[in-house]
Homo-oligomer: A and B are copies of this chain.
Amino acid sequence: MPTHSTRDIIVEKADALFYQGGFEATSFADIAAAVGISRGNFYHHFKTKDDILDAVIARRMERTRAMLDAWQDASEGPRERIVCFIRILITNRTSIMAYGCPVGTLCSELAKLDHAAQGRAADIFGLFRDWLTAQFRALGAADRAGALALHLLAWSQGVAVLAAALRDEAFIHAEVAGIEHWLASHPDLSQPT
């Protein structure tokens, strides 16, 4: 029972390198060095670099789904669940200040490259949007739930972009406090049951 196959390790390392260095700037050689295998050996696991990207996106999809499911089970109410989402800005603040949001920066890069996988990358945003929409709906937002979900998603993305550009940790904390205040005092939302 292997804990991790070579293929899994490649995807794991590629995921981190794509995040920290970007997809285009990360070469086969970089990934091979990180995994500890020879460059030519890649062809046995992935035919093209785009195949690795697809696997990385699929991995991120899975992990995002798992994270959302965990929040769904661990928190009592929708408001607490949304706070879980907001708090990833705090939890991951160090890497966010260094590399931005993994989803947002990947989508931005793939858009510029006009890459075929940009739709699949954007689907990760779709997971968050749908999950947040369900939470806002549970809070009584009704037909405004989708717009509120997108708004919160955009807010967190903006915080990530600016925190990375300005390397400002205090700004992250201030904005997270602002988001939580907005969530607690939003007039459109009834109190949780």
Return chain B residues, CB-CB under 8 Å to A157: 157-158, 161-162
- Chain A facing B: main interface SS: helix
* Residue in chain B with minimal CB distance to A114: B21
Q: Are A108 and B174 closer than 8 Å at their CB atoms?
A: no
* Residue in chain B with minimal CB distance to A18: B112
- A175 CA to B152 CA, complexed, in Å: 11
Give chain A interface residues in 142-160, CB to chain B under 8 Å. 147, 150-151, 153-159
Tell me whether A1 is interfacial, beta carbon within 8 Å. no
Return chain B residues, CB-CB under 8 Å to A99: 111-112
Interface residues on chain A, number (Cβ under 8 Å):
42
Tell me whether A20 is interfacial, beta carbon within 8 Å. yes
Tell me whether A184 is interfacial, beta carbon within 8 Å. no
Q: Are A121 and B158 closer than 8 Å at their CB atoms?
A: no
Give chain A interface residues in 103-118, CB to chain B under 8 Å. 103-105, 107-109, 111-113, 118
Q: Which 3 pairs from chain A and chain B are nearest by CB? A: A158-B158, A154-B158, A107-B165
